[in-house]
Amino acid sequence: MGANLGDRHGALGAAVAAMDRLPGTRVQRVSALYASAPVDAGGPDYLNAVAELATTLPPLPLLQALQALELDAGRERPYRNAPRTLDLDILWFGDAVICTPELTVPHPRMLERAFVLRPLADLAPGRVGDAALDAVSAQAIHRLEGAEWARLDLLRFAPEK
């Protein structure tokens, strides 16, 4: 997940809470929070993190639900890689390999982006090798906060807005 417009930190925190409220879905863990410059895009720096979800939703309904959360956060898509208030992508869906016009899993560009691999390595170090991290080492990224930024301990007690 990422955001580079508006209240980036607030948008990501709200997204974690909203994902936890999706039908049949629970946020299991969240990575540290990172800041990075846009890749193949302009605009302000991004805040990025990765969340692990347990869900009973099939892949396409999950994608549609995530895109609805993006719209609720004010996401607009005026052009490819436009700055955004919220970006939610599915990186993996278990061990599934999916290639449809709407969804490709594993995410086709995740191995090209430090803003994906660094937080992903926090949650799944066994799935992100040193070679993959070395390949993106020239991309500027720095850790801002540990996983406590998402306040998972309070997540299920927060009132809905």
Q: Which of the residues are catalytic?
A: 75, 84, 87, 89
Instruction: Tell me which residue of 87, 97, 94 sits closest to 50, measured CA to CA.
Output: 87
Q: Are 26 and 53 contacting, i.e. CB atoms less than 8 angstroms apart? A: yes
